[in-house]
Amino acid sequence: MNAEPTIRLSAIERSFTQGSVTARVLKGIDLAVRPGELTLIMGPSGSGKSTLLAAASGLLRPSAGRVEVLGTELWALDAGAIDRFRLEHCGFVFQGFNLFAALTAFEQVVYPLGFSGITGREAAAAAAEALDAVGLTKRAHLYPAALSGGEKQRVAIARALAKRPRLLFADEPTSALDKTNGEAVVALLKEAAHGRGTTVLCVSHDPRLIAHADRVLRIEDGLVTSDERPDPAKPILH
Ligand SMILES: Nc1ncnc2c1ncn2[C@@H]1O[C@H](COP(=O)(O)OP(=O)(O)O)[C@@H](O)[C@H]1O
Ligand SMILES: [Mg+2]
Ligand nearest to the CA of 21: 1
**pTM (two decimals):** 0.94
Index of the ligand 1 atom closest to the CA of residue 54: 17
Radius of gyration of the chain (CA): 18
Three-state secondary structure call for residue 141: coil
Class level of CATH domain 35-62+75-228: alpha beta
Please write the tens of the pLDDT for every residue from 81-92: 999 999 999 999
Ligand 2 centroid from CA 50, angstroms: 4
Given phi > 0 = left and psi -120 to 50 = alpha, else beta, which region is 231?
beta
Ligand 1 centroid from CA 61, angstroms: 14
How much is the pLDDT for 237? Answer: 54
Contacts for 121 with CB less than 8 Å, ≥ 6 apart: none
Are residues 217 and 23 in contact, defined by beta-carbon separation less than 8 angstroms? Answer: no
Ligand 2 centroid from CA 45, angstroms: 7
Ligand 2 centroid from CA 29, angstroms: 16
How much is the pLDDT for 104? Answer: 98
Q: What are the residue ranges spanned by the domains of the chain?
A: 35-62+75-228
In 19-157 the beta strands, taken as DSSP E runs, fall at 21-33, 38-42, 64-69, 72-73, 90-94
How much is the pLDDT for 234? Answer: 57
Q: What are phi and psi of 137, to 5 degrees?
A: -55, -45
Atom 13 of ligand 1 has which residue's CA nearest to it? 46
How much is the pLDDT for 232? Answer: 59
Atom 3 of ligand 1 has which residue's CA nearest to it? 16
How much is the pLDDT for 141? Answer: 98
Q: What are phi and psi of 22, to 5 degrees?
A: -110, 125
How much is the pLDDT for 218? Answer: 97
- CA atoms of 60 and 50, how far apart (whole Å): 10
In 129-222 the beta strands, taken as DSSP E runs, fall at 167-171, 199-204, 215-220
List, chain by chain if needed, residues with CB within 6 Å of any ligand 1 atom. 16, 18, 23, 25, 43, 45-51
How much is the pLDDT for 8? Answer: 98
How much is the pLDDT for 3? Answer: 83
How much is the pLDDT for 236? Answer: 52
Q: Which residues of the chain have pLDDT under 70?
A: 1-2, 231-238
Ligand nearest to the CA of 43: 1
